[in-house]
Amino acid sequence: MPKTTLVSLAASLGVSRQTVSNVINAPHRVKPETRMRVQHAIAESGYRPSAAARQLRTRRSMNLGIRLMPVVDGINGSILDRFLHALTESAQDEGYRLTLFCAESDSGEIRQYEELLKVADLDGFVLTGTHYGDARTEWLLEHEVPFAAFGRPWSSVEDPFGSGHPWVDVDGGAGTEQAARTLIEQGHTAVGFIGWPAGSGAGDDRRAGWKRAMVAAGLATDTLDIQADDGVPAGAQGAERLASRGATALVCASDSLALGAAAKMRQLFPEQASGTVIGFDDTPVAAAVGLSSVSQPIEDAARHIIAVLAHELAGTNFPGGEEVPERHLLLPPTLIQRTPYSFSSS
Amino acid sequence: MPKTTLVSLAASLGVSRQTVSNVINAPHRVKPETRMRVQHAIAESGYRPSAAARQLRTRRSMNLGIRLMPVVDGINGSILDRFLHALTESAQDEGYRLTLFCAESDSGEIRQYEELLKVADLDGFVLTGTHYGDARTEWLLEHEVPFAAFGRPWSSVEDPFGSGHPWVDVDGGAGTEQAARTLIEQGHTAVGFIGWPAGSGAGDDRRAGWKRAMVAAGLATDTLDIQADDGVPAGAQGAERLASRGATALVCASDSLALGAAAKMRQLFPEQASGTVIGFDDTPVAAAVGLSSVSQPIEDAARHIIAVLAHELAGTNFPGGEEVPERHLLLPPTLIQRTPYSFSSS
């Protein structure tokens, strides 16, 4: 019997060679009826031990892996949960499923990549929380595993827009810049910043945005910048210190910090108009207590990550004529302004 | 060549028949080295088209499906996110992964079961949000698909503890009963309840708990029971109505309702000692604003669901001597009492 090829399979089925190839490499791009007919023929053929079958086995799981980040305080974490929801929906629309896993660290995450690629037959991964010197992206690039990151490659010494792997990020610095500018336009001349210790990509970026707005307005920043670990109590402490140095309004790197800061500022400035503290991430808590916050277009980010990863996985089988998603995308955030919900007796 | 059997495979490998069977049906219960050796031998054998290979293919995906419920207000939803985290961790400890999917409705969820069982080779499902007349559990039972539910079978006309499928639930009614009793012991004689419209299993159960405490204390409940859709504004409206009927303290079916109710009660009773409103689910928002709340042991529930489902899947291959997890488990909640975090100027 002559060796079965994609060509002979296609001929016997009356479909194009490209269709058979798509069924193997990008099955979601083929109509279900055709896909099932071709898959059935492949399964029936003598192909199992062949390269085509290996490809079939390794490339059509339609499953993407994502690490579920540990729950921190449940306030800031909610942004990642929204991301996961949007990611699952977008993936499903494209014919992919998500496989969840846990890890305690980056190296633990890499061990999971190895394990999952061995046993669970995944097509690729979605990363979150990229940071300086990220060992995960290096490992995935080195092992030629398809992936897309939510977060730009902070460690790249080159222009991140020139880097090797697809990513989507939100321009956090633009968000804190707008937040600070808004407070300056309201008449505040001493706008403080409470952010994380220097050394985290996203944290440094948010600090830089606040600073840009202050410098552009000719305002001093030296004594108005606090580095704190995340959390409600740290926000309250930071606000107390900044207020003692003259700050009348604050931008915070997270809603947890902002929540503590807002409570403290309202204690210190009971007469002041509301809205002197702006948080980051527009979490449910911010909405519930009426805290202004920088909102990330997290659903757009999730959709784009799936689009770019699906495109990556389809590879040369990507049908011409469809729009090619940008491999590197920086999305603008939005400032959500709110009036504090009254928890007081006033 | 004689037909290869489990017995001949076991003999050629020098392992017990049970070990080979476990590798096929419950691979996580076999030491990795042995497992790999047996799996290799099975793959090398002429078994692919046989029942054993089908079993191998269909029963060792070590993958469980779970629907990611839609994001509602991000406050009450956080409990399901904590559940998902704990479930992923417990599953991973047992050698299972979770596959996420989305659906808009119960019938959509059933369509996903069909699809996933066809294409994604899942071992079973975890359900959340069981309710009266749940079509999902009926479908899964009818199709003999292994699953475990977070939530008791509300629709069962028989004793749920006698029902056919494994479930874990939290005794919500015991939680609201304790909450109401605590308020009564603080001297309140008119403790109101704000809950969801009658007809939801969990909602009716929480209402019944509050009522039990009131009746046991010889207190009237007739005018103190409000049915409201979930959410912060509904909580505030409910509190206003109940206060006008004399209520001085409230138990709520959710933290969203309690958040709105607490803000309103502090407006209406500025002189009153704190803690007159108790919510449900101990969400991050409750912790952030200092709201007392009934806490579900969600991590215990997730761990038990995985344990009981893993036991179900291992079936007769479950090693003797290990503790058999209870198929129906009702866990007690805990009342977390807090002092409101000051968002006021006092």
Using an 8 Å CB-CB cutoff, list chain A residues near B302: none
Please report the DSSP string for A236-257 in residue order. Answer: HHHHHHHHHTT--EEEESSHHH
Distance (Å) from the alpha carbon of A254 to chain B's nearest alpha carbon:
14
**Is the pLDDT at B315 greater than 90, yes or no?**
no
Q: How far apart are CA B3 and CA B133, in angstroms?
A: 48
Using an 8 Å CB-CB cutoff, list chain A residues near B125: none
Residue A35 has a pLDDT of 79
Q: How far apart are CA B233 and CA A296, in angstroms?
A: 25
Residue A157 has a pLDDT of 59
**Is the pLDDT at B96 greater than 50, yes or no?**
yes
Residue B57 has a pLDDT of 42
Distance (Å) from the alpha carbon of B226 to chain A's nearest alpha carbon:
22
- Mean pLDDT, chain B, as a whole number? 84
Q: Which residue of A has its CA nearest to B75?
A: A284
Minimal Cβ distance to A288: which of B285, B340, B346: B285
Residue B25 has a pLDDT of 61
Contact A81 B71 (CB under 8 A): yes
User: 3-state DSSP call for residue B321?
Assistant: coil
Using an 8 Å CB-CB cutoff, list chain B residues near A259: 288
Residue ranges of the alpha helices (H) in chain B?
A: 6-13, 17-25, 32-44, 51-59, 78-93, 106-119, 135-142, 172-185, 201-216, 232-244, 255-268, 284-289, 298-314
Q: Strand A334-336's sheet: what is its strand order?
A: A225-227, A191-195, A249-252, A277-280, A292-295, A334-336
- Residue tagged 């003797």 (tokens): B320
pLDDT band at B53 (very low <50, low <70, confident <90, very high): very low
Q: How far apart are CA A182 and CA B198, in angstroms?
A: 46
Residue A258 has a pLDDT of 94
Residue type, B209: G
Residue B42 has a pLDDT of 75
What is the pLDDT averaged over residues A259-287?
84
**Is the pLDDT at A18 greater than 50, yes or no?**
yes
pLDDT band at A159 (very low <50, low <70, confident <90, very high): confident
**Is the pLDDT at B235 greater than 90, yes or no?**
yes
Residue A12 has a pLDDT of 83
Using an 8 Å CB-CB cutoff, list chain A residues near B89: 102
User: 3-state DSSP call for residue B227?
Assistant: strand
Q: Which candidate, B335, B284, B115, places its Cα nearest to that of A79?
A: B284
Percent of chain A with pLDDT over 90: 51
pLDDT band at A64 (very low <50, low <70, confident <90, very high): very high
Mutate to test the interface with B, among A100, A112, A274 (most CBs of B within 10 A): A100
Residue B48 has a pLDDT of 40
Look at A303 and A341; give whichever has higher pLDDT.
A303
pLDDT band at B236 (very low <50, low <70, confident <90, very high): very high
Distance (Å) from the alpha carbon of B44 to chain A's nearest alpha carbon:
11
For A304-319, the pLDDT digits (tens) are: 999 999 988 886 554 5
pLDDT band at B55 (very low <50, low <70, confident <90, very high): very low
- Residue tagged 């839609």 (tokens): B70
Residue A48 has a pLDDT of 40
Q: What is the dihedral of CA A343, A344, A345, A346, to 10 degrees?
A: -110
Give Cβ neighbours of residue B289 (< 8 Å, ≥ 6 apart): A288, A289, A343, B259, B262, B340, B341, B343
Residue B244 has a CB neighbour count (10 Å cut-off) of 10
Please report the DSSP string for A273-322 in residue order. Answer: PS--EEEES--HHHHHHT-EEEEP-HHHHHHHHHHHHHHHHHGGGSPTTS
Using an 8 Å CB-CB cutoff, list chain A residues near B75: 284-285, 288
Minimal Cβ distance to A99: which of B73, B84, B97: B97
Using an 8 Å CB-CB cutoff, list chain B residues near A101: 88, 92, 97
Using an 8 Å CB-CB cutoff, list chain B residues near A103: none
Distance (Å) from the alpha carbon of B194 to chain A's nearest alpha carbon:
18
**Is the pLDDT at A33 greater than 90, yes or no?**
no
- Mean pLDDT, chain A, as a whole number? 84
What is the pLDDT averaged over residues A205-224?
97
Residue A239 has a pLDDT of 96
Contact B74 A284 (CB under 8 A): yes
Using an 8 Å CB-CB cutoff, list chain A residues near B340: 343
Give Cβ neighbours of residue B190 (< 8 Å, ≥ 6 apart): B219, B220, B224, B245, B246, B247, B248, B249
Q: Which residue of B has its CA nearest to A61?
A: B120
Contact B81 A82 (CB under 8 A): no
Contact B102 A89 (CB under 8 A): yes
Using an 8 Å CB-CB cutoff, list chain A residues near B97: 99-101, 116, 120
Residue B58 has a pLDDT of 44
Please report the DSSP string for B151-193 in residue order. Answer: S--TT-SS-GGGSSS-EEEE-HHHHHHHHHHHHHHTT-S-EEE
pLDDT band at B2 (very low <50, low <70, confident <90, very high): low
Contact A78 B81 (CB under 8 A): yes
**Is the pLDDT at B323 greater than 70, yes or no?**
yes
| DSSP 8-state class, residue A223 | T
Query: Which of these ranges, A140-154, B44-58, B155-169, has the smallest mean pLDDT?
Result: B44-58
What is the pLDDT averaged over residues A42-57?
49
ipTM greater than 0.85, yes or no? no
Q: How far is CA A325 from the centre of its chain?
A: 16
Establish how many alpha carbons lie within 13 A of residue B231's alpha carbon, considering only the half-sphere containing its beta carbon.
8
Distance between start and end Cα atoms, chain B: 88
CB B101 within 8 A of CB A91: no
Residue A4 has a pLDDT of 66
CB B103 within 8 A of CB B109: yes
The token duo for B278 is: 């108790």
For B240-290, the pLDDT digits (tens) are: 999 999 999 999 999 999 989 998 998 888 776 545 899 999 988 888 778
Domains detected in chain A:
63-170+298-331 (3.40.50.2300), 172-296 (3.40.50.2300)
Contact B84 A102 (CB under 8 A): no
Q: How far apart are CA A72 and CA B16, in angstroms?
A: 46
**Is the pLDDT at A234 greater than 80, yes or no?**
yes
Establish how many alpha carbons lie within 13 A of residue A215's alpha carbon, considering only the half-sphere containing its beta carbon.
8
Q: How far apart are CA B44 and CA B128, in angstroms?
A: 41
Residue B284 has a pLDDT of 82
For residue B27, CA distances in Å to A133, B18, B327, B342 come to 37, 11, 22, 54
Residue B337 has a CB neighbour count (10 Å cut-off) of 12
pLDDT band at A51 (very low <50, low <70, confident <90, very high): very low
Percent of chain B with pLDDT over 70: 83
Distance (Å) from the alpha carbon of B53 to chain A's nearest alpha carbon:
14
Q: Which residue of B has its CA nearest to A85?
A: B68
Using an 8 Å CB-CB cutoff, list chain B residues near A75: 284-285, 288
Distance (Å) from the alpha carbon of A216 to chain B's nearest alpha carbon:
33
Percent of chain A with pLDDT over 70: 83
Contact A288 B283 (CB under 8 A): no
Is pTM beyond 0.95 here? no
For B201-222, the pLDDT digits (tens) are: 899 999 999 999 999 999 999 9
Distance (Å) from the alpha carbon of B160 to chain A's nearest alpha carbon:
31
Residue A215 has a pLDDT of 98
Contact A263 B341 (CB under 8 A): yes
Residue A289 has a pLDDT of 79
Look at A55 and A157; give whichever has higher pLDDT.
A157
Residue type, A232: V
